[in-house]
Structure 1
Amino acid sequence: MGAFLEKPNTEKEFSEGSGNGLRYGLSSMQGWRVEMEDAHSAVTGLPHGLEDWSFFAVFDGHAGSKVAKHCSEHMLHEITSNPEFLGSPKIDGKLNPSTDAVKEGIRTGFLSIDSKMRDDFARTEDRSGSTAVGVIISPKHLFFANCGDSRSVLSRKGQDKPAFSTEDHKPGKPNELKRIEKAGGSVMIERVNGSLAVSRALGDYDYKNNPKIPPTEQLVSAEPEVTVIERTDEEEFIVLACDGIWDVMSNEELCQFIRSRLAITDHLAEICNQVIETCLQKGSRDNMSIVIVTFQNAPEVSQDALTKERELDALLEEKIKEVKENFGDQTQLDLVMHVLGMADIPGLPPGGGLSAKKGTIEEILSRLIDRKQDEDSSDEKW
């Protein structure tokens, strides 16, 4: 889990789509890790006649990718096919699950898939695990589910801070610590038995081998924390992301950054890519995955914001020219970033700062270098 590459793999898997009055974008990148262990789900239109419901999730694998990949492919089925979810009466032949039925369906789905994977993976002795964060969006409610330290936040119009955030399941938290110690374990260096950094996860069966206690009371539990929030007309967007994102950006910073980027582009996959690039520049060493889901009240592209972004890019170009004049042909990107980092540059993206403009700075520097080489080549001809 701790092995790193000599340089990050920055190739991204990204896409975007829409449905049920929602738009979504997603992106994932291996980064510095030796393996890509994350997976995700994005589904608009659920089974049993719930065409106006949607499901989005991020699964952050560790010690391998098998559990995360399996969950991304089968979790929705486990949630929507169990008796708790299906127990509500139908109206005109269409399932009409109550909020309690959905909550119990999610809980049962998590525990069910965890049990089935244990049986399926027993032959391979797979030791991988995965955190999970997801949301089911119905016409009237948001059902957030969290198991581990991936996280989701909800942004509402007119609120500077996120309206809601899931809580990470860390071993040192009082309720988690109590369960771990009751199961015969301990927490050392903020890890279960000094090893696992999360107290709830799917898989990780080495921590679920006490036959005398139920699955929800093991050292590591697959039981999700489920929160139901009634929808309003003020929702802007939901973010679901693994800890590779949250390690370097706070809830407030990420929401501010996304809000500012929505004002300059309506391509959500591009915004997801920008988040990941910014987090890489900020120092994230983990796999990174993010899903952004926008509602009808999400910020829209603004001509004023576009103008300010162009002005910022022009200012950056002027400052990069100054750096080149001072350092000449030895000017490298790292040097430029270091010098600009000490300068007062107004208008940088909130929550992202200079890190969010690294790609632009690299393009400007490359263009200036190419222009200088062309000029030198022309001078030699004369």
Structure 2
Amino acid sequence: MGAFLDKPKMEKHNTHGEGNGLRYGLSSMQGWRVEMEDAHTAVIGLPYSLSMWSFFAVYDGHAGSQVARYCCEHLLEHITSNPDFRGGCSGGGDSINAEPSVESVKCGIRTGFLQIDEHMRAISERKHGADRSGSTAVGVMISPHHFYFINCGDSRALLSRKGRVHFFTQDHKPSNPLEKERIQNAGGSVMIQRVNGSLAVSRALGDFDYKCVHGKGPTEQLVSPEPEVYEIERAEAEDEFVVLACDGIWDVMANEELCDFVRSRLEVTEDLERVCNEIVDTCLYKGSRDNMSVVLICFPGAPKINPEAVKREAELDKYLQNREGGACKKHMTQHIPAEPGDKGKRQYRQSTDGGEGRMVTKVILKFKSNENKLTFAGVFECVYCGTPGGTSDGKCPPICLC
């Protein structure tokens, strides 16, 4: 079936941790893709006397997973060990133990990206066959006083502060005027919004087939490994959370929509793995066909458990348990939301059919807090054949083509 499977692989990889005044959770799923090409990094406490610093990143590989996997293991070391990162250290003459300046960190991150890209090229050439894989990279380095958001490609990071999206990185697409100008100056073209009609991102690590224009430096090639680095001062009482995710998430969820979803879930659970799993599941059912990875990093200002929200959650769970018996045992029925992005939407997975691990029902519900009832907003249809007309109690359409 080409690059896609006949049915999605829904097993998830999870991890979580806490320290340095933050908590994080992660979820990744292969989904419909033939291969899992995503990778991630999560480190609390950095080397070189930066124990109060943390680093998180998501790598979205393409044409293979080699570059993404190598970066998840080695990019941080390339950043923190290069002289540029330590070049403007403050706090005395011992640069190894002193904290680097803001400009040194930004310069060191850029240098680390260029170094690891050249290092991977050399490894590939020594193996007598260029590795054709590549990877985007999005990350955040967190110091006691600053966020350093890092982006190379079309994965994305965002910061939620005071109940709204305060910042998000810009995707590197070939259609962007500055990116397009560089591509054309290197002798390439942008067709169907792709580099030479093929690659959908204009910056990435790896992708060495697009980095061989003679006379051009590494940042002047068709595809550049240079990251954009954004520095933002932390606001301890106002910072809520940071989300890092690949385009398998952002293709189907807008920035504000995802932030609203995260805030609503943090009011009912402190389990960040669970929240990340629900994000991934939601994106799968919203139509994402890509690998999906998301990292959620929460700070003391994040939403807290809300007793009223917990109560509503329990009512929803009870309601779904009661209606499970009437759900179709032959077909899955899914709820198609009529109001995309509406706050308060919930996604559920009900029981499996005959213990075979097959999803029976997925429902997105909207709970109106000003009414003591649940309301559906949308049309039900059979997942297998698409026949519309299912009922709100989970039963299949009267006439089903499958």
Q: Under a length normalisation based on structure 1, what TM-score does the superposition of the two structures give?
A: 0.86
Report the CA distance between 1:360 and its aligned residue: 4.0
Report the CA distance between 1:314 and its aligned residue: 3.6
Query: Within the alignment, does 1:140 sit opposite 2:132 as a pair?
Result: no
From the superposition, tell whether residues 177 and 149 of structure 1 become closer, same or farther in structure 2 (CA, over 3 Å).
same
1:271: which partner in 2?
275
Paired residues for 1:168-247 under 5 Å: 168-233=171-236, 234-247=238-251
Higher strand share: 2
Higher helix share: 1
- What amino acid is aligned across from residue 178 of structure 2 in structure 1? N
From the superposition, tell whether residues 17 and 314 of structure 1 become closer, same or farther in structure 2 (CA, over 3 Å).
same
Query: Within the alignment, does 1:296 sit opposite 2:296 as a pair?
Result: no
Report the CA distance between 1:332 and its aligned residue: 2.6
2:82: which partner in 1?
82
Structure 1 distance, partners of 2:307, 2:360, is 26
Q: Is the 8 A contact 1:262 1:271 kept in 2?
A: yes
Structure 2 distance, partners of 1:148, 1:351, is 29
Q: Is the 8 A contact 1:254 1:351 kept in 2?
A: no
Report the CA distance between 1:320 and its aligned residue: 5.9
Structure 2 distance, partners of 1:273, 1:34, is 20
From the superposition, tell whether residues 99 and 9 of structure 1 become closer, same or farther in structure 2 (CA, over 3 Å).
same
Query: Within the alignment, does 1:156 sit opposite 2:158 as a pair?
Result: no
Q: Is the 8 A contact 2:267 2:306 kept in 1?
A: yes
SS in structure 2 at match of 1:180:
helix
1:379: which partner in 2?
none
Q: Is the 8 A contact 1:313 1:360 kept in 2?
A: no
Unpaired stretches in structure 1, ≥5 consecutive residues: 367-382
1:16: which partner in 2?
16
- What amino acid is aligned across from residue 163 of structure 2 in structure 1? G
Structure 1 distance, partners of 2:338, 2:286, is 17
Deviations 1:41-80 (A, max 9, x none): 0001111101000000000000000000000000100110
Identity %: 58
Query: Within the alignment, does 1:130 sit opposite 2:135 as a pair?
Result: yes
1:376: which partner in 2?
none
Q: Is the 8 A contact 2:324 2:350 kept in 1?
A: no
Q: Under a length normalisation based on structure 2, what TM-score does the superposition of the two structures give?
A: 0.82
SS in structure 2 at match of 1:275:
helix
SS in structure 2 at match of 1:171:
coil
Query: Within the alignment, does 1:56 sit opposite 2:56 as a pair?
Result: yes
Query: Within the alignment, does 1:333 sit opposite 2:332 as a pair?
Result: yes
Query: Within the alignment, does 1:3 sit opposite 2:7 as a pair?
Result: no
2:399: which partner in 1?
none
Report the CA distance between 1:158 and its aligned residue: 3.3
SS in structure 2 at match of 1:95:
coil
1:372: which partner in 2?
none
From the superposition, tell whether residues 342 and 145 of structure 1 become closer, same or farther in structure 2 (CA, over 3 Å).
closer
Structure 2 distance, partners of 1:193, 1:349, is 34
Structure 2 distance, partners of 1:342, 1:276, is 17
Root-mean-square deviation (Å): 2.3
Paired residues for 1:298-377 under 5 Å: 298-316=302-320, 324=327, 332-334=331-333, 337-338=334-335, 341=336, 353=345, 356-357=347-348, 359-360=349-350
